[in-house]
Every structure is written in C-alpha cells, then in structure tokens.
Structure 1
Amino acid sequence: MPRSVGPPGPYEDPSAAMSAAAELLEVLRARGQDTAAPAVSPSQMRALLVVEDSAGINLRTLGAVLGSRPPSVTRLCDRLEAMGLLTRSTSPTSRREIELRLTARGGALLDEQRAIRLREMSAVLGRMEPAALDALLLGLAAFREAADGLYTVPVPGSGGPFSDSA
C-alpha cells in the first residue's frame, strides 16, 4: 500500500510523520554518496562526524557515543585509518589512551559529503512553498531544541556530543 506523500493530517501520529521524513532524508543523503571517494559505510560516516566534532576523542568514548563495543570500534578505526581518513595517536596525558583525529583527507571527504547532501536537499526545498518552508524551519528548530541533551550524539548547534546539558 503506497504511503501518503501529502502534508500530515491533523490526526496523523507525529512520530510516524517524522519517521517517514527521516527515511526520505536517508535516501537523499545516500544519493551521490557512491561518487565520493573513498566510499564509506554509514557507521564509518558517523564515526568520522563524531571525531570531527570532538578531535582527540578516545576509543572508549567513541564507542560509547556510537553504542558499539570496543572490538567493533577498534576494527572500525582500523578501516578508517587504512583509508587515510583518521589517525590514532597516544594521548599526551595518558599513554594508555589513544586519541583519534581526522586527517586532511577525512575532512575533505566530510566536506564533499556535505556538498552532495546540500545539493540534494536544496533541490527538494526549492520545490516547497515559502510558507511551508518557514513552518519546516520553525519545526526543525523546535525539534533540535527538544533533542538537545537527550542523546549522546552530535546535534548541530548544541555544543557537541558531550555538552554539559546531558
């Protein structure tokens, strides 16, 4: 049964509407992703975004943010390091900890992905009526505000994944 693509009705579940929008955003985000080099998986992309937001983060904290176990985080970082997107180094304050940082190539990949995503989003947003676009922006701002501090994931504009509001 096809889903409705029109505006949500007055009684539609907001969570269902948001979930449908998130699915569409995933499709838009993935478009063109194969053209970026090197191609990275969604979990690798999340790790790169967290490391970018928190340069010098350690493996344990990255695992906590991603909700992954230490062996999985180590393998994930092995792959990202082998692709030249991430570096690992011993912490200057504790030789037992490993710090993670993006390489220039990792930063360039994130910039390229953002440009692709911006192009895809702009194409859709450009088709919206100005009043609907204003309402969307207002709703997104309220959503970000409501989410701030609830989750240990990067929320743009919230001060990073480890803000004191958590």
Structure 2
Amino acid sequence: MTEADPPGYELPLLLFAGFRSLIDELHTELAALGHTEVRPAHGFALQAIGPYGASATEIGRRLGVSKQAAGKTVDRLAALGYVERADDPSDARRKLVRLTPRGLDMLTRSAEIFDRLRANWVHQLGADRVTQLESSLRTVVPATAFPVDVPGWFG
C-alpha cells in the first residue's frame, strides 16, 4: 500500500488527531487566560446552552446525553461560574440555564483562539490547502448544524 493509497482506517484517525491537537492547544491557551478548570465537554455544553439559555432537558438532547448527565455538567459549570440557573420568563415551572459573563468570556476567547489556530495551519500548510481541506470536508460532511453531541456520542 502506498502513501497515495493509505488504509481506510487512517482517515478517521487523522481527522480525530487534527481535532484533538486543536482542542488541546485551545485548552492550553484558555488555561493561561484563567480558564484552568474548563474541559472539552464543558465547551460543548456551553455551545448547547447557547446565547439564549436552555433547559436541562434541551441541553441533554443537544448533547446526546440524559437529562441527569446534563444536570451534572450544568452543576459543575455553575460551580465554576460559567452558567447560572434562572426562572424561564415564558414558563414559571421551568428553569433556564444561562451563560454568565465568565461563560461568555470563555466562548469569546475560544473563538479568538480558534482563529489563531487556523492561522497557524494556514502558515504551515498555506491558505489554499487549508481552504481546500475545509471545502472538501463541507462536501462530505452532512449539511446539518455543527454537532455538539460529541460527549454523548463518545459515551
């Protein structure tokens, strides 16, 4: 088998290794900025909560985990100061989980770091290759919204 015709199992491993290297670099930089306790699963949970908040049931569904597992993650994020529970203005029986300023800061800084990490790939590979890689992935990846259910999917 030649490099031009590698075994099929290498593709998912290379894609995962690329993902993992970006996430590891992200968390190294976040820690240096004061977000020392945040973990990859927390980032997915914050994305699942979103800018308008969500109930524990909605968070669990978006993450692909049970309401109880989502509740544990929310408890941890609340203890770390990234989210808060509040009454839902549209339904007094329901609690919403909302991002705090610390949670918003972590997401904002993450976006900035991802931009720098992409720029590093452009520096190493060239803009054309990175653009081609992204375009190729958009062609083969389903056109649905970006999934945040990685914690449940890996579970």
TM-score tier, shorter chain, comes to 0.7 to 0.9
Assess if the C-alpha contact under 8 Å between 2:60 and 2:66 holds in 1.
yes
**Matching residue within 6, 9, 32 for 2:4:** 9
Map 1:35-74 onto structure 2 (within 5 A). Answer: 35-39=32-36, 40-52=38-50, 55-74=52-71
Deviations 1:48-107 (CA, angstroms, capped at 9, x unpaired): 111125x23111010111122222222211221122211211212323321121111111
- 1:1-166 correspondence runs (5 A): 9-10=4-5, 12-13=7-8, 16-31=10-25, 32=28, 33-39=30-36, 40-52=38-50, 55-144=52-141, 146-148=142-144, 153-154=147-148
Distance 1:36 1:112, change over 3 A: same
> Which residue identity does 1:70 align to in structure 2?
K
Q: Which runs of 5+ in 2 are unaligned?
A: 149-155
Count of equivalent residues: 143
Q: Is the 8 A contact 1:85 1:103 kept in 2?
A: yes
Q: Distance in 2 between matches of 1:119 and 1:130?
A: 13
2 CA distance for matches of 1:123 and 1:141? 21
Task: Pick closer, same or farther for the CA change 1:126–1:86 going to 2, 3 Å.
Answer: same
Offset at residue 18 of structure 1 (A): 4.1
CA separation in 1, counterparts of 2:107 and 2:99? 10
For structure 1, the residue ranges without an aligned partner over 5 or more in a row are 1-7, 155-166
One-letter amino acid of the structure 2 residue matched with residue 24 of structure 1: G
Q: Say which is worse superposed, 43-52 or 128-137, in terms of deviation.
A: 128-137
Letter in 1 for 2:77: L
Please give the alpha-carbon distance, in whole angstroms, between the structure 1 residues aligned to 2:62 and 2:88: 19
SS in structure 2 opposite 1:125?
helix
